[in-house]
Amino acid sequence: MSGKLAGWTALVTGASSGLGTDFARILAAEGAALVLVARRAEALTQLAEEIRARHGTGVEVLPADLADPAARAALPARLAAAGLDVDLLVNNAGFGVFGNFAGSDWNRVAQMLEVDVVALTHLTHLFLPGMRARRRGRVLLVASTAAFQPTPNYAVYAASKAYVLSFGVALNEELRGSGVSVTTLSPGVTRTEFHLVSGQRSNRFVERTAMSSEAVARIGIRALLAGRAGVVAGVGNAALAASTRLAPRPLAAALAARLMRE
Ligand SMILES: NC(=O)c1ccc[n+]([C@@H]2O[C@H](COP(=O)([O-])OP(=O)(O)OC[C@H]3O[C@@H](n4cnc5c(N)ncnc54)[C@H](OP(=O)(O)O)[C@@H]3O)[C@@H](O)[C@H]2O)c1
């Protein structure tokens, strides 16, 4: 344990699976006390037991459906009841819906926007004022390489991640000199439950480029601790993201469609 975050409390959303579990493990190894949020209480409790045993840090489990505005609004009071202030917020919970937009299930799309966009913005709004008042804080927003170009069959998901990227970079600039920074992490394909949930079958692009969840989470936490505005996970993903910035959007979208079909 490096102990860089001793005395800090980190709230990690989506800590029941994938990147969220790795963010939690890495932050605990840095000495942070944890608050774990997601819907699956049993998975959170299991992770909490593992982390307490390995690192001896405090871990609170707060099951919540982040698609529910009232459940989000109740989080600060639940934390206050546990005597905790959030110094570090990892807005990681999210999911994608794969397939053509016209044929998609509206309720699922609306829930995705609620979790990936509204909840992420709401939680940031709930916990940022405290961090600013204490002049100490870090926020990690999980975007995606899908944020860099329109992505057919992930049209709404990619647009929601473009929102996250734009929001995060602007907010970090607003907070310059405040003692609080916002880092936006853009992972490419990562081995988690994401594709199972989104309904995208594996293809050559997915198999060739997939990174481990732990490697991606480490890249995010390193950038967060360094106070960087943003980071794309992995050299290949960074090169792809940079190249799409130079291409006209329709061309970038056509290329993304091809990679999804491969
Ligand atoms: N894996 C990839 O290829 C990839 C690439 C780029 C970006 N990302 C982003 O990385 C983030 C983490 O995803 P992952 O890859 O780790 O996928 P994952 O294994 O499916 O994990 C998603 C997490 O989000 C939580 N979540 C979903 N809906 C929720 C809700 N309504 N309320 C509370 N929690 C909710 C899930 O918990 P419960 O089900 O227990 O609620 C789960 O812990 C997401 O924002 C995703 O968009 C992933």
Q: What residues does ligand 1 touch, defined as CB less than 6 Å away?
A: 14, 16-20, 38-40, 65-67, 92-96, 115, 142, 144, 187, 189-190, 192-194, 197
Residues 6 or more apart whose CB falls under 8 angstroms from that of 145 comprise 186, 187, 188, 232, 237, 240, 241
Mutate to test the pocket of ligand 1, among 26, 89, 190, 191 (most ligand atoms within 8 A of CB): 190
Per residue in 178-202, pLDDT (tens digit) is: 999 999 999 999 999 999 999 998 8
Shortest CA distance to 232 belongs to which of 172, 161, 178?
161
Both structure tokens of 100: 């053509």
248 Cα to the center of ligand 1, angstroms: 30
Q: Tell me which residues are annotated as active site.
A: 157
Centre of ligand 1 to C-alpha 195, Å, is 10
Question: 39-43, 109-113, 197-201 — which is least confidently predicted?
Answer: 197-201
Nearest CA to ligand 1 atom 42: 14
Domains of the chain (ranges; CATH) run: 9-261 (3.40.50.720)
Give the span between the Cα atoms of 256 and 244, in whole angstroms. 9
Q: Please give the number of the atom of ligand 1 that sits closest to the Cα of 191.
A: 1
Determine the residue of 13, 16, 37, 91 to mutate for testing ligand 1's pocket, defined as the one with the most ligand atoms within 8 A of the Cβ atom: 16
> Averaged over 55-68, what is the pLDDT?
97
Question: 149, 255 in Cβ contact below 8 A?
Answer: yes
On the question of pLDDT at 246 being above 90, the answer is no
Ligand 1 binding pocket mutation candidate from 62, 92, 189 (most atoms within 8 A of CB)? 92
Instruction: Kindly report which listed range (31-45, 152-166, 242-256) carries the lowest average pLDDT score.
Output: 242-256
CA of 22 to the centre of ligand 1 (A): 12
Q: Which atom of ligand 1 is nearest to the CA of 196?
A: 20
Mean pLDDT calculated for residue range 228-255:
93
**What's the mean pLDDT in 208-215?**
95
> Who wins on pLDDT, 224 or 259?
224
Q: Which residue has the higher pLDDT, 62 or 3?
A: 62
The angle subtended at Cα 221 by Cα 232 and Cα 98, nearest 5°, is 50
User: Residue 188: CB partners within 8 Å, gap ≥ 6?
Assistant: 144, 145, 209, 211, 232, 233, 234, 236, 237, 240
Nearest atom in ligand 1 to 67's CA: 31
Band (3; pLDDT cuts 50, 70, 90): confident
Cα(82)–Cα(119) distance, integer angstroms: 22
What is the pLDDT of the chain when averaged over all its residues? 96
CA dist 230 and 224 (Å) reads 8
Nearest CA to ligand 1 atom 46: 94
**What residue spans of 61-105 are helical by DSSP H?**
69-73, 75-81
Q: What is the pLDDT of residue 65?
A: 98
Residues 6+ apart with CB under 8 A from 242: none
CA gap 128, 44 in Å, rounded: 24
Alpha carbon of 91 to ligand 1 centroid (Å): 10
| The pLDDT of residue 258 | 87
140 versus 252: the higher-pLDDT residue is: 140
What pLDDT does 262 receive? 65
The residue among 255 and 157 whose pLDDT is bigger is 157
Smallest CA separation from ligand 1 atom 34, residue: 38
Q: Among 29-43, 125-139, 144-158, 235-249, name the one with the lowest average pLDDT.
A: 235-249
260 — pLDDT class (breaks 50, 70, 90)? confident
Beta-carbon contacts of residue 13 (< 8 Å; ≥ 6 apart): 20, 37, 38, 66, 90, 91, 92, 93, 119, 123
Residues 19/216, Cβ–Cβ less than 8 Å: yes
- Taking a C-beta distance cutoff of 8 angstroms, is the pair 161, 118 a contact? no
- Express as a percent the part of the chain with pLDDT over 70: 99
